[in-house]
Amino acid sequence: MAPPSRSSQPRPGFPGRARSRGRRAIGTAAAAALLWWVLAGHQALLEPLAVLAIVLAGSASLLLPTGRPLPLRLRALPGLLIFFLRNSFLGGLDVARRALDPRLPIRPAFVTYRTELSHGPPLTLFMAVVSLLPGTLSIRLEGRLLTLHVLDREADTRAALIALEQRIRAAFHDPREHRNKRSGEAP
């Protein structure tokens, strides 16, 4: 499976199909410029090679066939980001506490969970983030049935997973609202 697409660059929005190409090209060029600036510093941004790379990146997104735009809801992203940062920190804290405790208080178990998220980016993100939440590790996905490993079988894993699923659902437009058919990505 692909790594989750959490880039630090701003992504172009989700406008109609017709306008999306131009905006996507501008967005790609801006992202390329930002990346160049981050990697090489602002003096390097005016070099001919940098300008060439940025223009090429922008025009490549005009020439190449467009993929499906990422149906993100920008307004819900800060909430998801804060939720993720907080819970991944708690996850590290939790597992560190268990690992350093002389009594080794872990009670591992396997748990299954059926998610309602659609295949593609939302489900990929869900699988990735689950592994960083406190005490959960995503093992396998069959259809929409997720097999997890939990460190503490007494912990309320389901509530945490449902909370995460709601956050992710809020951050993506449901593709079923926009178009009827959407080819599922093989897990």
Partner 1 sequence: MIANTLTIILILVGLVFFAAGTAGLLRFPDVYSRLHALTKADNVGLGLVVLGLMFQASGPADILKLLLIWVLVLAAGTTAAHMVAQRTWTHGEFESDR
Partner 2 sequence: MSVFYLAAALFLLGTILLGLIRVLRGPGSGDRMLAAQLFGTTGVTILLLLSMTLEESALIDVALVFALLAVVAAVAFVRQHGLPEPPDTPTHRRNPESTESRESNDDR
- 153 interface partner picked from partner 2, partner 1, none, CB below 5 to 8 A per type: partner 2
Q: In the bound complex, what is the minimum distance in angstroms from residue 44's beta carbon to partner 2?
A: 13
For residues 13 and 152, which CB has a smaller minimum distance to partner 1 in the complex?
152
6 is a site residue for partner 2 (CB under 8 A): no
Which residues have CB under 8 Å from 68's CB, separation 6+?
Answer: 120
φ and ψ at residue 146, rounded to 5 degrees:
-100, 130
- Could you report how far apart the first and last alpha carbons of the chain are, in Å? 7
**SS3 for 20?**
helix
Contact 2, 124 (CB under 8 A): yes
111 is a site residue for partner 2 (CB under 8 A): yes
142 is a site residue for partner 2 (CB under 8 A): yes
For residues 94 and 175, which CB has a smaller minimum distance to partner 1 in the complex?
94
Ranges assigned E (strand) in 67-172: 109-114, 136-142, 145-150
Q: In the bound complex, what is the minimum distance in angstroms from residue 170's beta carbon to partner 2?
A: 21
List residues binding partner 2 (CB under 8 A).
3, 39, 107-114, 140, 142, 145, 147, 149, 153, 157-158
